[in-house]
Chains A and B, each alone.
Chain A
Amino acid sequence: MAVEVAEALEAAIGELRTALGTEYVMTDFHQRAIRTTNTSPMGLHQWKDLLPDVVVMPASTAQVAAVVKIANKFLIPITPRGAGAGLADGATPMKRGIIVDIKRMCDILEIDDEDMTVTVQPGINMQELNKVLRPLNVWFPDDPASYPVNVLGGRIGAGGWSLLGTGYGHVPDLVCSMEVVTPTGDIIRVGAGGGRKIRKSSVGYRLKDLFIGHQGTLGICTEVTLDLAPRPQAQLPVFFATRSWEDAHRMTLAFNRSGIRCLSGVVMFDEAKVEFLRRDDEAWIPLPEWVNSAVATICYGTSVELEAVKSSIFDIGAANGGVYMGQEISEGDWASRHDRYHLAYHGRSDGTIRLMSWSCEDAAITWSQLPTVKRRWYEIAEALVAKHPEHFDIWGMFMYTGNPFRPWGDFLTEIDIGVNELEMTPEIWADWVEAKTQIARVSVECGGSVSAAHGGTREGEVDVACYEELKDGQFDLMKRIKKMLDPNNIMNPGKYHLDEAYEDEETA
């Protein structure tokens, strides 16, 4: 670190301590190391290079604004951080600097069960929020796999996707309005109406959307008003086994076209996923050998509604080659959906056990393109595993309905790959990044998006996202917006190749 940079950092830390209190400005290595990672693999060889210089834990909007102003004063990068449960490296600092950990900002500010909103600070976790809402018979229906651990600020920064989004909408659909500290330290409110609670308005630009899914590059949400829903009286998870993935694929189209309004999600498990669960998940109830793939449907609604649609669900499943897996596996697997999505110990197909982390591609793909994407993704993944059998393992695919409020059209399409981080080398990591690039390219070539849920910021996919998916003027506009809002490139620099906005100026 150059002397002048070190001096600026030391001066900034001094001002941060004055603003927040010494206790909430942390420089110990372990405080920084734990806030470098997120849920996606990084390769331990990279860890040290990604450490921030300092971690702060503000407690209020004013403190967040103070931190941002100090960062601008000393030109020190800021990376906002929620639960660290993201899968796109959004909360990983690429240029060191200050981590702004928002988890102390976890208060519920207002519950309005007449206009059906709740206003919270961004550090609150959805499960904790719903515990408080439960007695009022309302809930905040955001239901990602990370439901028990994630926090609202991170969900908004990533533009999160919900397992129940087909019934209740995803995070972008559930935000009424937000207070945001911009990259220059200004405090603004985005959203419609003179208050905080209007969902639909035609006044002005839809600026709210600009501050959702930006991966911490455009500001820090410090308060948010969320849309609530009546707590469903009942749920009906029904899992079907099929003899082929093609049967499962066809069955989902039938569900998509069924017109069942309380259908809140449909999930396909492909043959490799079923095989993976058989060999690796001791909580997965054993299935007969003939079971190749599976389709899970979940309906939420009133008891009367669900009773009425039950026979339709079973009829559609049976008519498309599905065999009901039974109540125990349907209800049990659905109930444990938040607990089981990754375990570091994994049995591989050759019977060995190797510690691996979990990588999850999450493209948005239309139903018609799923067979092509599936075939081409496996070709890429199998080539990678063939080259590095000790470092990667294929854990199969899920496809989830992704269209908000409707079960047709988009599917969040996920291929899970085990990654041996402990024994990673730069050379093998380069092959991994190349495989990710190829996977992302297939998604875009098939008309899809690199990411339905996590964001397109990871090494490997970010090139495809910026230069291929967003090539028709969108990426250029993103850079202009970024530079306008963040003239010093303070907020999460290095993400989405937005540094180019500032390089263009230097070149000129």
Chain B
Amino acid sequence: MSQQLSSKPFYDEKIEGTIIPLPLIKDCYAVFACRHKFCREVCPVYQDDRDESHTSYGFHTALLGISQGMGELADIRETITNCLECGACELRCPNTLFGGDFYGASTTTVDLVRKVRRDLVASEIGFEKYEEIVATVDRYIAYFEGPEGDLTKWADGLNLATSGETMLFVDYFNAFETTDIPRNAAKILTAAGVDFGILPRPGATLGELLDVNLETFVEMGRHNVAALEQAGAKRVIIINPHDYTYFTRDYTTHIGELPFEVVFITDVLEELTNNGQIVFGEATASEVFSKVSYHDPCTLNKICGITESPRSIIGKLPGVTYIDVTPVEQWSYCCGKGNASFKTLHPDTSYKIGAKRLQAAADLGVSQLVLACPHCKDQLTDVGARSGVAIEPVHILTLVAQAMGLD
């Protein structure tokens, strides 16, 4: 069965050497012809290195240049790695802003970058540090084939069901690297009276697969959809915003309409606080003076448009003074880890982007930066330790659990 690689069917057609399919030429030209380069200014990578070839304008122009006989696909194997896949350029592109709906031609740089990386792999050219990405993928995929209990070890002692109309989907990164996040999610939902289950053997949800191996990504996706459906899911709660993009955008593109509703955890928590199922206690003395800001994960803010529920929840936390930076202003922010492979590909740039983000929070005079993404948490914790910027990255579920007295 032919698989649609993005919302633009012509992305299916592989680039071979110097041959660019005509619809893709037009797609690239639409960005090139704009030439305003708003995409450049909003790009966190460009803000660091000031090299416009590492932008949406750069990638589209490079492919257009290939179509005009100036080079071939192999020539861009290094430059195409310089993308966080954060989606800021797509939002800032006039084609999306003012023509996307009208002409049905929004700019889709993230899909394009993934497609080009995959085409490079399929052409046996690969790209810089490709082997490291594959090694990461292999390491995580091994979990799928490992002992069943390993994938749910994070939930030890919580006595969670393995079926139900509401299912909590926990990805491998949360399950193995940031176990406090799924544990807090489970405790909060349980305390709020939500009946839910978890999959005993979820499939891998790795952004890296979209860069190098779409077939395995889709295969794992089909496993997840089938397993959730079999478990009786009518509603699936996601706690990793990267997964939210895979379920709502990539699974629907590559697999089809999902047989259940998919919701992000902060939207669920907002519902539960609004209807009284979650009640926060009084602020303790140490919490009264807590001054925080919120970092919009790229996946939620720029790709899925979920920006209100985290702010709503933070606003209800007792003893917290909240300093907002608007979602639009945060289009040019990123924690630096990127949507998938970027930190592995460019660790120095990743660190500098992260340090800049932390410093922006420090400039607000806050003591904590609230996060809703395990990858942002991991990255900014690491960056904070290395840079010495005295801001504590804290996951929103940690604060909610504390406010509910669930420690």
Contact = CB atoms under 8 A, between A and B. Distances in A.
Interface of A: 28-31, 33-35, 37-39, 44, 47-48, 51, 57, 83-85, 103-104, 106, 123, 125, 127-128, 146, 148-149, 281-283, 339-345, 353, 355-358, 421-422
Contact of B103 (A123, A125, A353): A353
Contact of A355 (B33, B36, B62): B33
B37 A85 contact: yes
B384 interface: no
B129 interface: no
29 contacts: A28-B76, A29-B70, A29-B71, A29-B75, A30-B61, A30-B75, A33-B71, A34-B61, A37-B61, A38-B35, A44-B68, A47-B70, A48-B70, A51-B70, A84-B37, A85-B37, A146-B36, A281-B98, A282-B102, A339-B38, A340-B98, A342-B34, A344-B29, A344-B30, A344-B31, A344-B95, A358-B33, A421-B33, A422-B29
Contacts of B41: 125, 127-128, 148-149
A455 B76 CA distance: 34
B256 interface: no
Main secondary structure of the interface of B (DSSP, over half): helix
A106 B48 CA distance: 11
A344 B98 CA distance: 11
Interface of B: 25-26, 29-38, 40-41, 50-53, 57-58, 61-62, 64-65, 68-71, 75-76, 79, 94-95, 97-99, 101-103, 105
Interface centre among B32, B36, B62, B69 (most CB of A within 10 A): B36
Contacts, number: 123
Contacts of A357: 33, 35
Contacts of A35: 52
B243 to A, nearest CB: 33
Given A344-B31, A344-B99, A422-B25, 12 more contacts: A28-B75, A33-B61, A34-B53, A47-B65, A57-B50, A57-B51, A85-B37, A103-B50, A103-B52, A343-B34, A343-B95, A355-B30
B50 A345 contact: no
Nearest to A357: B33
A339 B37 CA distance: 11
Contact of B57 (A34, A146, A355, A358): A34
Contacts of A123: 50
Contacts of A30: 53, 58, 61-62, 65, 70-71, 75-76, 79
Contacts of B29: 344, 355, 421-422
Contact of A106 (B50, B62, B70, B101): B50
B33 A344 contact: yes
A282 B32 CA distance: 21
B53 A48 contact: no
Contact of A48 (B50, B69, B76, B101): B69
A84 B94 contact: no
B29 to A, nearest CB: 6
A123 B58 CA distance: 18
Nearest to A123: B50
A106 B47 CA distance: 10
Main secondary structure of the interface of A (DSSP, over half): loop
A149 B36 contact: yes
Contacts of B76: 28, 30
Nearest to A34: B61
A83 B37 contact: yes
A39 B75 contact: no
A343 B99 contact: yes
Contact of A29 (B26, B40, B65, B94): B65
A127 B40 CA distance: 13
Given A39-B36, A149-B38, A33 B94 contact: no
Given A85-B37, A127-B41, A340-B98, A345 B30 contact: yes
Contacts of A106: 50
Contact of A282 (B30, B52, B53, B98): B98
A282 B34 contact: no
A472 B69 CA distance: 45
A127 B101 CA distance: 28
Task: Report the 3 A-B pairs with minimum CB-CB distance, sorted nearest first.
Answer: A30-B62, A29-B71, A344-B33
Given A48-B70, A343-B99, A344-B95, A31 B34 contact: no
Nearest to B51: A57
A60 B53 CA distance: 21
Contacts of A29: 65, 70-71, 75
A340 B62 contact: no
Nearest to B26: A355
Contact of B79 (A28, A37, A345, A355): A28
A38 B33 CA distance: 10
Given A283-B98, A340-B94, A343-B95, A34 B34 contact: no
Nearest to A37: B35
Contacts of B38: 148-149, 339
A357 B34 CA distance: 7
A125 to B, nearest CB: 7
Given A146-B36, A282-B101, A345-B95, A33 B70 contact: yes
B34 A344 contact: yes
Interface centre among A30, A35, A104, A127 (most CB of B within 10 A): A30
A103 B40 CA distance: 12
Given A127-B41, A339-B94, A84 B62 contact: no
Interface centre among A34, A44, A57, A343 (most CB of B within 10 A): A34
A355 B64 CA distance: 14
